[in-house]
């Protein structure tokens, strides 16, 4: 079929998701992160928020540290390019609005506890009666079923229960949660790819599906082979190794911060040459087996080498000699990065309420389709456009719905 299809002449259709209708009922990070990219790929994403707003509006950061639901940095990042609708699913009018939106949707994303939407007549079984091709994506901490399904969760408890926390941090200190909100973002990235995979399946097979994504499972699938290895002998394979897997696979202090190398045996000779330390190119260090026995000695030598370099000098010499090394980049490093600027990676927005913002704006570069760079909606910004222009409510209805706390 693809080869015979007439290429479209409308450049807007070049966006892979142009015209695809997405209803995003999710809150927080995971679901909104996934739908952020659907919007940037051209989909019409309607973000449905309760009248008090998405949780991420209360998360910050804010300009000058002054809390304001319209200037929360987390919200502004995760909801670029979407249209905003307020809708209270605990009112019958709100449920009717959501049902009307879902009836015309290609994709519905949600993050409620299992059963919540079913109780409100918005569950997958109900939606597919009218809309058999709809793809519904549920992303929750533990999935729709099983003994933990109703367990309250937090990022740190999920990180612990997925195995990732147990291998992260210094071996002589407590296990460490990573900074930022990595657990939620990981689930969000999975949700994005899962949504696209299911939507492609629906396009090709003519039937939709309901995806059940458990954050615990998405994290537990990213342990390389360590978990499955542990299942073979019942013996713990790997604890926490901190920043130093071995001397040539670690992070070291340098003049202006931290830098690291991740040298595999085939990269060793080039690394040794790059340091300009002759003994690293000679026995015993140029022999992989003997090197391992002398790891502490090698670490001491490399501590000295890193200590005399700036972060960017380490990366420059690694590029020149062709071995894997880099540095612990900070946000200003990234904002100022020539490489990222060359790639058009950051989106600059002089936001009317939040001031200037620089945000990551693509997952990859594809000249054929590009990425849209919209702004996140204010609370209920598109209520009138969606309810009146598209769903057939009149202006009196809007006032009534507002009074009933339905929108």
Partner 1 sequence: MSTAAPKPLAGIRVADLTMMWAGPYAAKLMADYGADVIKIEGPRAWDNIRTLFPPDELTDQWFNSGAYFHEYSRNKRGLSLDLSQPRGRELFGRLVAKCDVLIQNYRADVMDKLGLTESWLRELRPDLVIVGMAGFGKTGPEAASLGYGPIIEQMSGLVSLSGYGDGIPFKTGISYGDPIAGIAAAGAAVTGLIRRERTGRGVTVDLGQREVATTLMGEAFALWSMNQRLQDHVGNRHEWMAPHNAYPCLGEDHWVAIAVGSDAQWRGLVEAMGRPGWALDEAYADQASRWEHRDTLDERVSAWTSGRSKQEVFAACRAAGVPCGPVWKLTELVADEHLNARGFYEPISDPDHASWMVHGWVWRWTDSGPCILAPAPNFGQHTREILTGLLDVDPAELPALAEAEIIAGAPIDPPAVSVV
Give least dist CB 273 to partner 1, A.
Answer: 15
Site for partner 1 in 149-178 (CB under 8 A): 149, 151-170, 173-178
Applying CB under 8 A, does 362 fall inside the site for partner 1? yes
User: Closest CB to partner 1 among 115 and 146?
Assistant: 146
Integer Cα distance of 105 and 195 in angstroms: 13
Residues 90, 115, 130, 204: which binds partner 1 (CB under 8 A)?
204
Task: Give just the sign of the alpha carbon dihedral 186, 36, 205, 208.
Answer: positive
CA 123 to mean position of chain CA atoms: 25
Q: Are the beta carbons of 324 and 267 closer than 8 angstroms?
A: yes
The neighbour count for residue 199, using CB atoms within 10 Å, is 24
CB closer to partner 1 out of 155 and 387? 155
> 327 CB contacts (<8 Å, ≥6 apart)?
254, 257, 258, 259, 260, 311, 312, 314, 315, 333
Site membership for partner 1, residue 335 (CB under 8 A)? yes
Among 73, 113, 114, 121, binds partner 1 (CB under 8 A): 73
Range in contact with partner 1 (rule: CB under 8 A) among 54-62, 89-97, 108-116, 384-392: 54-62
Which whole-number Å values give the CA distances from 391 to 46, 193, 270, 387, in the listed order?
13, 30, 64, 5
* Number of other residues whose CB lies within 10 A of the CB of residue 289: 7
Query: CA dist 242 to 15, 170, 176, 295, Å?
Result: 42, 4, 10, 15
Q: How far is the CB of 40 from partner 1 (least distance, A)?
A: 11
Q: With binding defined as CB under 8 A, does residue 55 bind partner 1?
A: no
> Could you say which residues in the range 240-269 bind partner 1, by CB under 8 A?
240-243, 245-246, 249, 251, 258-262, 264-267
Q: 311: closest CA among 243, 264, 263, 252?
A: 252
Binding part of the chain for partner 1, among 65-73, 94-102, 388-396, 397-405 by CB under 8 A, reads 65-73
- Residue number, 21 or 402, with CB nearest to partner 1: 21
Q: Give least dist CB 226 to partner 1, A.
A: 5
Which CB sits closer to partner 1, 113 or 400? 113
**CB of 272: closest distance to partner 1 in angstroms?**
15
DSSP letters, 106-171, are SEEEE-PPTTHHHHTT-SHHHHHHH-TT-EEEEEESS-SSSTTTT----HHHHHHHTSTGGGSS-T
Q: Which of 254, 250, 304 is nearest to 276 (CA)?
A: 304
Tell me the two tokens of residue 270: 């080039």
Q: Which one, 43 or 280, has the nearer CB to partner 1?
A: 43
Q: Applying CB under 8 A, does 288 fall inside the site for partner 1?
A: yes
Site for partner 1 in 291-330 (CB under 8 A): 315, 318-319, 322-330
Rule CB under 8 A: say whether 132 interacts with partner 1. Answer: no
> To the nearest whole angstrom, how small is the minimum distance from the Cβ of residue 197 to partner 1?
5
Site membership for partner 1, residue 229 (CB under 8 A) = yes
Q: Find the binder of partner 1 among 278, 283, 308, 367 (CB under 8 A).
A: 367
């Amino acid at each position: 079929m693809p080869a015979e299809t007439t290429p479209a002449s409308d450049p807007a259709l070049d966006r892979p998701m142009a015209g695809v209708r997405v209803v995003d009922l999710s809150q927080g990070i995971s679901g909104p992160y996934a739908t952020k990219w659907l919007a940037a790929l051209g989909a019409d994403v309607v973000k449905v928020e309760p009248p008090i707003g998405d949780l991420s509006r209360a998360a910050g950061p804010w300009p000058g540290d002054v809390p304001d639901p319209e200037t929360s940095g987390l919200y502004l990042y995760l909801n670029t390019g979407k249209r905003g609708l307020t809708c209270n699913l605990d009112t019958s009018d709100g449920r009717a609005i959501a049902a009307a939106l879902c009836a015309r949707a290609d994709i519905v994303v949600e993050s409620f506890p299992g059963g919540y939407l079913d109780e409100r007549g918005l569950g997958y079984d109900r939606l597919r009666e009218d809309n058999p091709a709809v793809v519904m994506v549920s992303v929750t901490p533990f999935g729709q079923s099983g003994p933990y399904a109703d367990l309250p969760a937090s990022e740190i408890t999920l990180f612990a229960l997925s195995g990732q926390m147990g291998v992260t941090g210094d071996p002589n200190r407590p296990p460490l949660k990573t900074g930022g909100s990595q657990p939620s973002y990981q689930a969000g990235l999975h949700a994005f790819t899962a949504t696209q995979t299911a939507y492609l399946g629906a396009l090709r097979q003519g039937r939709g599906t309901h995806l059940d994504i458990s954050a615990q499972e998405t994290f537990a699938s990213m342990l390389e082979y360590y978990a499955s290895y542990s299942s073979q002998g019942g013996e713990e394979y790997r604890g926490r190794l901190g920043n130093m897997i071995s001397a040539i696979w670690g992070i070291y202090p340098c003049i202006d911060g931290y830098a690291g190398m991740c040298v595999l045996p085939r990269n060793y000779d080039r690394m040794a040459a790059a340091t300009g330390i002759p003994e690293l190119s000679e026995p015993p260090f140029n022999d992989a087996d003997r090197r391992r026995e002398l790891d502490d000695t090698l670490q001491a030598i490399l501590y000295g080498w890193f200590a005399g370099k700036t972060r960017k000098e380490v990366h420059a010499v690694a590029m020149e000699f062709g071995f894997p090394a880099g540095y612990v980049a900070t946000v200003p490093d990234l904002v100022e990065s020539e490489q990222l600027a060359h790639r058009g990676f950051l989106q600059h927005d002089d936001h009317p309420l939040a001031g200037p913002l620089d945000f990551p704006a693509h997952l990859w570069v594809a000249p054929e389709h590009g990425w849209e760079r919209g702004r996140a909606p204010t609370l209920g910004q598109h209520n009138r456009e969606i309810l009146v222009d598209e769903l057939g409510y009149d202006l009196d209805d809007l006032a009534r719905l507002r009074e009933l706390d339905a929108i």
